Chain A
Amino acid sequence: MNSGDAAGSSSGGSGDAGAPRRASRKPKYSKFTQQELPACKPILTPKWVISVFLLVGVIFVPIGVASLLASNKVVEIVDRYDDACVPSNVTNKLAYIQNSTISKTCRRTLKVPKDMKQPIFVYYQLNNFYQNHRRYVKSRNDQQLRDASKANETTLCDPEKTRDGMAIVPCGLIAWSTFNDTYTFQHNTNNLSIDKTDISWKSDRDHKFGSDVFPKNFQKGPLIGGKTLNESIPLSEQEDLIVWMRTAALPTFRKLYGRIYVDLKENDTITVTLDNNYNTYSFDGKKSLVLSTSTWLGGKNDFLGLAYLTVGGLCFFLAFAFTLLYLIKPRKLGDNNYLSWNRNSAGH
């Protein structure tokens, strides 16, 4: 335009003539600054949508089948014993379980429904037990558990901190309430040995529970919660405690009790002698003993397989439905009747 012309009233001439022209402020061109980077712009075209659904279906259904098969391969024996192990003449179960003078040994007979290959995992299962209650989860002191020199470190351990002014090791509600039912197994009159080593996570044993930390003042109060610990065994070897201290996420949970390295045959009977010590009666919780094998996917749970099959099936259905829709009512490219503002502004 005219600004290029030198003559006339432009002031540019006088001032800038001598001065060096300053650098151009022109933006640098690059694909980045111009927002022209190569990109893929996925659009939901019929082809793409249908193939995505098909692909998900094709992947999911086999996984579902495999999961379901795995789950079905697991043999699981669940025996609830909290009611059965209280003598029938006892009306106040709570008083019964709290009475430490009575022997609470109880005998259960389990029938193996199917062949069980070793290792067979022994769990106890508690129900309606809120190990995930915040007051409970918080009530421990990791430093004390790990480090012998920090034995007096009991912050957060309320209300199981000290006994007669002495720090409790391990302190806190979790340790105090460690599960204390015990099981012994007999398989056709032979004693079945339970391997109770390595039932906890290795990292817990190595890093969280000190091998030089020994229980002190534990379960010495008037109210005894659960298991008493042998004061001569370091915490890192008290595996029941370590297992228990990994708090469960949900109110129904299992914890590993031990392993049996014996194959069991279908219709074998197993006799369990158990000490029914743990109080679940006051909060209406159930106690069960679980024997289970495992597969690559872990224990018995059909849900995962079913969920996979459902989602896979849903995707197949959607793929089919969208194919149909596409065939019956193809998209009209140039139809702009949907545009709401055309309708709105039709007046003028």
Chain B
Amino acid sequence: TKYSAVTFIPKSLFEQFRRVANIYFLVVACLSYTPIAPFRGATAVGPLVLVLLVTMVKEAIEDWRRKQQDIEVNNRKTKVFQDGAFRHTKWTKLRVGDVVKVEKDEFFPADLVLLSSSYDDAICYVETMNLDGETNLKLKQSLDVTSRLQDDDSFRGFGAVIRCEDPNANLYSFVGNIEIEEQQQQYPLSPQQLLLRDSKLRNTEYVYGVVVFTGHDTKVMQNATSAPSKRSKIEKKMDGAIYVLMSILVLISVIGSVVFGLATKHDLVDGRMKRWYLRPDNPDNIYDPNNPAVSAALHFFTAMILYGYFIPISLYVSIELVKLLQALFINSDIHMYHEESDTPAHARTSNLNEELGQVYTILTDKTGTLTCNSMEFIKCSIAGTAYGRGITEVEKAMAKRNGSPVISDFELGVEDFHQSEGRSAIKGFNFRDERVMDGNWVHQQHSGVIEMFFRLLAICHTCIPEVDEVTGKISYEAESPDEAAFVVAAHELGFTFYQRTQAGVYLHELDPSSGEQVDRFYKVLHVLEFSSARRRMSVIVKDEEGKTFIFSKGADSIMYERLSNSESTYSEATQKHINDYADAGLRTLVLAYRQLEEIEYAKFERKFTAAKNSVSADRDELIDEAADLIERDLILLGATAVEDKLQKGVPDCIDKLAKAGIKIWVLTGDKMETAINIGYACSLLRQGMKQITITLDTPDIIALEKGGDKGAINKASKVSVVQQINEGKKLINASGNESFALIIDGKSLTYALKDDTKAAFLDLAIACGSVICCRSSPKQKALVTRLVKTGTGKVTLAIGDGANDVGMIQEADIGVGISGAEGMQAVMASDVSIAQFRFLERLLLVHGHWCYSRISSMVCYFLYKNITFGVTLFLYESLSTFSGQTLYNDWSMSLYNVLFTSLPVIAMGVFDQDVSARFCLKYPMLYQEGPQNLLFRWSRLLGWMLHGVGSAVIIFFLTIASLKHQAFRKDGEVIDLSILGATAYTCVVWAVNMQMAITVNYFTLIQHICIWSGIFLWYVLSLYLATTTKINQTNSLTIFLTKLTIPLFLLPCRYLFLIIYGAITPSFSTTFFMVFSEALGGAPAYWVVTLLVAVAALIPYFTLAVVKTWFFPDYHNKIQWLQHAAKHADPEEELGVVLRQFSVRSTGVGVSARRDAKLVRTNSKVIHADSSSQSQATVELT
């Protein structure tokens, strides 16, 4: 936790005073106990204490919640080996080197090295949901040497030394070794033996492990770096406005001090007193005619305190409160709740709400974000023959795009449906082909290859089967959904993988010769795991006949390099199929195998083991090298195609976002073809859009790569990329209104992101309607995000779902995590999490816009109300020779910000809606007010400030001119300071609250209560308090506070105050005693003046507002008109026209843009979709 009971107060206070404004108020509070203060100390301290208290309570609650979690975690118990037996011990007491026993469904208390488990082969299954959110089980296995330690007693006398790396954040690596005392031999440790804290033991009775990292050293804690704290642009600008106010404050303080100094000096000239009633002959420091400079200097501080009302003390805390409530509204929006996964939206950091309304660029991940990351095995190509009749979403979208009805799909679909009704519910499998299903593949021409293909699917993976004991159904735990899809496919095709042990995998196979199901065992010798760098995985197995095979699968570009040169009969056909599949938006993998010679395997084994056992830093490289040795000269089997399904509503959402003028960049690790197809499917690309492709897959570069001269490659690549960027720019400049799409691959991106080229790249990218970066690594994603963020200076939003998106999510101004299938890491790093991409539409267009418009109105209003108040003080000063006398009573002044004007503005910040949600979505263009910052531009801020000055001038001069020196009551009493002050104060409060009533767009009952009830109560309470009389003066403060707090909690009161306060003992309220009940209440002049001033102060704003909305309306004004019109007539017809006029924008992206583009090209007949027509449209620059 951040705080403990002892450190809470100092630490949280320190946090608070990191804000300049709070320091200012602290200094004011201190100074206000010195004689230079214009009012009593308590009145300056009170509001500050209140503001600090509110914030601290908020902090305390948040911290307390964290603490509860910590306590719960720390007090969990686990069994530790002590004095020859395992005893329950608290987690906090764990030390490195302890041997612990963890039982089924328990969390690991620390990072452990697995020694043994209840299984003979010392494997165990862990669930890492807390770490990465993946729900599948992972297999861990201990070293053989320790696997015998299977009962409690075996640990007596067991000793070993573990050497390992220092604590680090890398979850998927662990380097170390273990030396058993008896054997004096070192065994290498790998992540395979490491059990991470916060993961859970599953499907295993118990395990024994040694603690290697505890507490903050554990990998999960190392990973829990607090996300970089982000501040919104509005807040930064708000600080700017505060600085402006500060400078005004200093300026007028200087003016006041100078005038005061001069006036003081003239009071005593040559021993002659001028204002004798001030006793200039008997001066003190503050007023010293002999030494006016000192007095003026001291007065400067007085003035700084007095005009402190320019600085809205409660602004920060109000904004924080408002954002918190806004976040609650976001969390509870039922339209952003995803029924299937039971996930509502969750604003994790509330301080970025308004930033959601200003997004200029969205950078989105593809897999899991645009697509649902549920993979379906849909096609395959074996031995040069393509199987699978399923039609993908992308193909449909493409067909639709080309205008041809998909008749065959429809008919086939229906037929298929009937035929395969029985198993259509199988997740991850959408493969229909009678030629290979139901065992028919044995009759195919290359049945041997097909058999190998299916076997590979069933063996080459890291899935774990789970057999349901009752039904006998097998389900699979897989690291990625593709893998699961493969195993499921193998199962459906007759190669059922049903058991995995430490030694190998068990399969039910269809034996082609006998046609019967046989069980086979494959001994797994090695698994060469998948990594994003290798882009392939291999398994080396020994079958029952003793033959050793290597089975590999991987990306086509990688795998083709590794095929044996001799075997090429169907590699070309396969390559064509792969391209077709990619066109159809499918993920492809190439499958290949090879039978290994004993000698070759032995050689590899040695090298590989040596590499694995090394503890040096280049261990991973060594392993790669060894793997590289064996993964070559493979024999091609074929290719698989897995469909990555688009999420629901994605194209519509993208269309809306595009209409809202938001640029959408897709950053994906996928192949260019796949990315382009997804681009088509979700309307980011369309026919007739010129594609600028930047790639390094050009013959020259490839030729160079073969040469292997790295320097030359770099140079040539860079030249090529720069050239392509420049050509793209030229093309855009040359064309008129066409829209462009930029597609760039990861390799080119490396060069495009170099310091000297990135500006040009950014220029090009900005000029394009949509940008797709494919084959990009997580790092590149983050770099691109940073480039866009810093390059454009506009708000960027990154959305992603996986661990590979964490970089870009943290880098972007706002990170949105999809709380979907791939894991929790993105969500943990994000600022807002939603369940589906399509909710982004509502999040941005509705909540983002609302929060933006609310916060900006709120800040403007805050500036206005404080300036209004401050300027009246200043104006009054000018009539008292800047002596520092306040017009208002001191308590009423200090409560102005925290009590009398705070509630309506908070209500506005939380509830105001300039346009209803429905219309926000209907007119996405409205969103542009945010990115263009129309509602928080300097002119608007300054306008409000000026309005504040104007209001103050009107209020002040009307009040003093109306209530001059004449009697103000029938009984002849005249105005004194307290009465004038109370009247002016009433006028300010009226004017400021009436202004709120004009500003608010959306009057709910809550607003009514906040604004109007207060005005009513002010008068009611004045009378109530008149009855209170003498109270012991010493504890008048406490009495005052208790008196004030009771009504405070009951009612949002401002006016209560006048009366309560007026009636509290005279010693406390001093000049305010009974002012209202005795003097003001019965004076018609008071009421008449109030009415005049309140109305007069509002007329300028109102008139300007009318002129503005009538003749220079902002976009939201127009929509308000439409909304208004819609209520009265049935304007759908008319609205439709208006809608189009408003909405169509030339981003050239999205479904509507596509439709419009199609309307333009009426005469161009579009032919059936295939890859050739696409490449015609593509402008290949390479």
What is A's interface to B at a CB cutoff of 8 Å? 1-15, 24-29, 33-46, 49, 52, 56, 60, 63, 67, 76, 94, 119, 121, 123, 125, 129-137, 142-143, 146, 158-160, 173, 176-177, 201-203, 207-208, 223, 225, 246-256, 259, 279, 282-283, 292, 294-301, 303-304, 307-308, 311, 314-315, 318, 322, 325-326, 329, 331, 333-334, 336, 338-342, 345-346, 348
Contacts and interface: CB of A to CB of B under 8 A. Distances in A.
Interface stretch (B574-582, B810-818, B1000-1008): B1000-1008
Contact of A334 (B335, B426, B1138): B1138
10 contacts: A7-B426, A28-B332, A134-B884, A136-B277, A158-B284, A207-B1029, A246-B976, A298-B966, A307-B1092, A308-B1092
A348 to B, nearest CB: 6
A177 B69 CA distance: 69
Given A207-B1073, A311-B1092, A333-B1122, A254 B976 contact: no
B278 A135 contact: yes
B977 A249 contact: yes
Contacts of A52: 1102
A343 to B, nearest CB: 11
A129 B277 contact: yes
A308 B1093 CA distance: 10
A177 B958 CA distance: 31
A292 B964 CA distance: 15
A334 B1137 contact: yes
A296 B970 contact: yes
Query: Quick one: which of B136, B276, B879, B1134 has the most chain A CB within 10 A?
Result: B276
B944 interface: no
Given A123-B974, A322-B1106, A251 B1092 contact: no
Interface in B40-57: none
Interface in B258-305: 272-279, 281-284, 286-287
A34 B334 contact: yes
Interface stretch (B476-484, B507-515, B615-623): B476-484
Query: Quick one: which of A40, A225, A346 has the most chain B CB within 10 A?
Result: A40
Contacts of A292: 966-967, 972
B638 interface: no
A42 B1113 CA distance: 15
Contact of B428 (A9, A132, A137, A346): A9
Query: Quick one: which of B277, B331, B1122 has the most chain A CB within 10 A?
Result: B277
Contacts of A7: 425-427, 473, 475
B907 to A, nearest CB: 12
Nearest to A4: B340
Contacts of A299: 966-968, 972, 974
Given A9-B476, A333-B1122, A39 B1004 contact: yes
B1066 A44 contact: no
Q: Which 10 A-B pairs have the closest CB atoms?
A: A9-B484, A8-B427, A299-B966, A299-B967, A121-B972, A159-B282, A249-B980, A134-B883, A203-B1074, A27-B332
A45 to B, nearest CB: 7
Contact of A146 (B343, B880, B977, B1067): B1067
B330 to A, nearest CB: 10
Interface stretch (B160-168, B563-571, B677-685, B1083-1091): B1083-1091
Interface residues of B, number: 152
B1096 interface: yes
Contacts, number: 359
Interface stretch (B173-181, B745-753, B1140-1148): B1140-1148
B275 A133 contact: yes
A137 B884 CA distance: 10
Nearest to B127: A15
A294 B974 CA distance: 11
Given A297-B1088, A307-B958, 19 more contacts: A8-B476, A9-B477, A10-B475, A11-B477, A12-B135, A37-B1006, A42-B1001, A63-B1091, A146-B1067, A158-B284, A248-B965, A250-B960, A294-B970, A297-B1085, A298-B966, A308-B1088, A339-B1115, A345-B661, A348-B732
Contact of B1088 (A35, A67, A142): A67
Given A173-B279, A304-B1092, A207 B374 contact: no
A27 B331 contact: yes
B967 A9 contact: no
Interface string B1001-1031: 1111111000000000000000000000110
Contact of A250 (B287, B732, B964, B1005): B964
A193 to B, nearest CB: 17
Contact of B475 (A8, A137, A311): A8
Interface string B880-897: 110111010000000000
Contact of A304 (B476, B485, B962, B977): B962
A46 B202 CA distance: 71
A322 B1033 CA distance: 58
Nearest to B914: A41
Contact of B883 (A133, A341, A342): A133
B38 A45 contact: no
B714 interface: no
B530 interface: no
Contacts of B964: 250, 252, 301, 303
Contacts of B428: 2, 8-9
B244 interface: no
Contacts of A223: 279, 281
B279 A25 contact: no
Contacts of A125: 965
A44 B767 contact: no
Contact of A301 (B339, B475, B962): B962
A334 B972 contact: no
A27 B344 contact: yes
B527 interface: no
Interface in B946-993: 958, 960-962, 964-981
A314 B1099 contact: yes
Given A142-B1070, A248-B975, A252-B964, A38 B1138 contact: no
Nearest to B915: A41
B1027 to A, nearest CB: 12
B333 A27 contact: yes
A304 B1004 contact: no
B277 A225 contact: yes
A42 B1109 CA distance: 13
B835 to A, nearest CB: 10
A292 B974 CA distance: 12
A294 B334 contact: no
A14 B475 contact: yes
Given A1-B374, A39-B1002, A133 B881 contact: yes
A282 B271 CA distance: 12
B918 to A, nearest CB: 10
Contact of A348 (B282, B881, B1146): B1146
Nearest to B1005: A37
B1095 A137 contact: no
Nearest to A94: B272
B339 to A, nearest CB: 7
A8 B426 contact: yes
A24 B934 CA distance: 40
A296 B971 CA distance: 9
A33 B961 CA distance: 48
A346 B1141 CA distance: 15
Nearest to B38: A134
A57 to B, nearest CB: 11
B885 A26 contact: no
B1003 A40 contact: yes
A267 to B, nearest CB: 24
Contact of B880 (A121, A134, A255): A134
Interface in B738-792: 739, 767, 769
A52 B1083 CA distance: 27
A26 B278 CA distance: 71
B475 A294 contact: no
Given A121-B972, A248-B975, A1 B1067 contact: no
